[in-house]
Structure 1
């Protein structure tokens, strides 16, 4: 008498094929075995179960009562094993999966509208939650699987994380459009009170504009401070950082009528200028081009839904990549 621990699961594949085809020949073609191999497998299974299972008739192989009772259970078991072993499929058009992404307000503002349009078109039932990358322990959240992916500028990326390039940018100066600066020279810039954005200060462990958490360093100082200070080092007037904000979205309100300027990423300046009375100026020095990358945990490699999410975010940032090389 057979027990499950001694059963060759390939015999169940043969049984299922014969049950469906009612023919040893057709069953052998389905499971890519010879007819003799199928017949041998049936003989082994008959002996193990002490039942004929199939009776040869003029209309084909007819199942016994035992085979009829076994068939749906065997079919379900084989399907479950197949689902467990083969990579899970993902259909964005019908999926209602929820993804969680970490991003700052800069990347959310320049990527969000395009991302939403792609979701409506390709995956109308998929939902995305965006968490503020600046208010969480990003490495811990990725390690725990609470975040599917993060968008930002990173350095010292540990080997357990993978990353992919999205776009790059440099810095520009923005002012209220009513403010007449003329050509922005170092001396003009030195006299202009400046607003910058920093997602963390020295008290939070920032080094050279990056905060490190569990081996992962993310950019916190959102302007090229070293280039700014070098360019204005010889100015008669010392440069003044009049205000440091923890986010970007309040900048247009602070610029109105205040006689201030702000140093921001170029893609954000272009986005602001489409909505607010903002003038965009080239800085009188060259800033480091910063890479914005997609970051995810190694455990997500091979997951079809995660691969789809990564490709979706690359598509959402495609125009930013094109603009950055002009």
Structure 2
């Protein structure tokens, strides 16, 4: 470190050009500097190394033994500095890395199949570790560094948590067709009178549907609360239960010929589904690449 303090980095760059070109004028062109400036740098370098470095031999400039000994370590040192200062690169075909994601089986059905196919094709060294948790737990895990990426509905985000909307989805109600009118759905009073299925990681969750009801001073009876999307659809047949969920969650679970979809009889704002991550991951090129892949694989048609 003491030796580094005695020399300007620009002098090392000039030395590299002089040793490579073995000619002051050509070194000046390479450095985009004037010839007098490079000649001045050479004079400083000669004083620093107490060696002429370049000497005239048979009408041409040649390296001294000391200069020849400097070529490789100087090349290696400048290469290391360049790698240190350059933006980190991410090569998906070459990387070996494990990412930790948390998402519901709703998102798993929509996003995971195209995402895994994409990873196996272009980044086979990337491994995924998938977990499932409530939105509050996912956000806490992001803050603690236990997760790389969380996929879910996040109406409010803590400081330092970033998010991107992957897609928006509307709500649909589903019930056994035998307990529905021959055509159409249910009036609001009849819809409220029925027992409902709540999709949530916690049975006391206050989801988007509950908030829409509360805004009108309404309540519904939750007869069954469970965290499993596929099971929520399967339990409907042969019962009077009503399930109201995101539309894209129901589509892949067909065919359920005994069931019928209908529009809920109250206005429920469309939900925005996000991927969220900690701000400390913003400049990580591998993490950025994964976020872009998740976004692409979440779009309709994938």
Contact between 2:53 and 2:63, CA under 8 Å: does it hold in 1? yes
Equivalent position of 2:146 in the other structure: 146
In structure 1, the residue corresponding to 2:151 is in which secondary structure?
strand
Contact between 1:174 and 1:263, CA under 8 Å: does it hold in 2? yes
* Higher mean displacement: 175-184 or 287-296: 175-184
Offset at residue 79 of structure 1 (A): 1.7
Equivalent position of 1:40 in the other structure: 40
Matches within 5 A, 1:22-41: 22-41=22-41
In structure 1, the residue corresponding to 2:229 is in which secondary structure?
coil
In structure 2, the residue corresponding to 1:255 is in which secondary structure?
coil
Contact between 1:190 and 1:232, CA under 8 Å: does it hold in 2? no
State the distance in 2 between where 1:71 and 1:18 align: 10
Contact between 1:176 and 1:277, CA under 8 Å: does it hold in 2? yes
Offset at residue 259 of structure 1 (A): 4.2
**1:198 and 2:200 matched:** yes
Matches within 5 A, 1:109-258: 109-134=109-134, 137-175=137-175, 182=182, 183-186=184-187, 187-202=189-204, 209=206, 221=207, 223-228=208-213, 233=218, 239-258=220-239
Q: Which stretches in structure 1 are left out of the alignment for 5+ residues?
A: 210-220
Matches within 5 A, 1:276-315: 279-315=260-296
State the distance in 2 between where 1:280 and 1:20 align: 74
Q: Over aligned residue pairs, what C-alpha RMSD do you find?
A: 3.1
- Identify if the C-alpha distance between structure 1 residues 140 and 48 changes in structure 2 by more than 3 Å, giving closer, same or farther: farther
Equivalent position of 1:54 in the other structure: 54
State the distance in 1 between where 2:133 and 2:29 align: 55
In structure 1, the residue corresponding to 2:275 is in which secondary structure?
strand
Give the TM-score taking structure 2 as reference length.
0.84
Q: How many residues align?
A: 299
Offset at residue 46 of structure 1 (A): 1.6
| 1:35-89 CA distance string (max 9 Å, x none) | 2222221221121111222333458543223223222222222122222222111
Offset at residue 303 of structure 1 (A): 2.8
Offset at residue 274 of structure 1 (A): 5.7
Q: Which stretches in structure 2 are left out of the alignment for 5+ residues?
A: none
Contact between 1:231 and 1:285, CA under 8 Å: does it hold in 2? no
Contact between 1:195 and 1:244, CA under 8 Å: does it hold in 2? yes
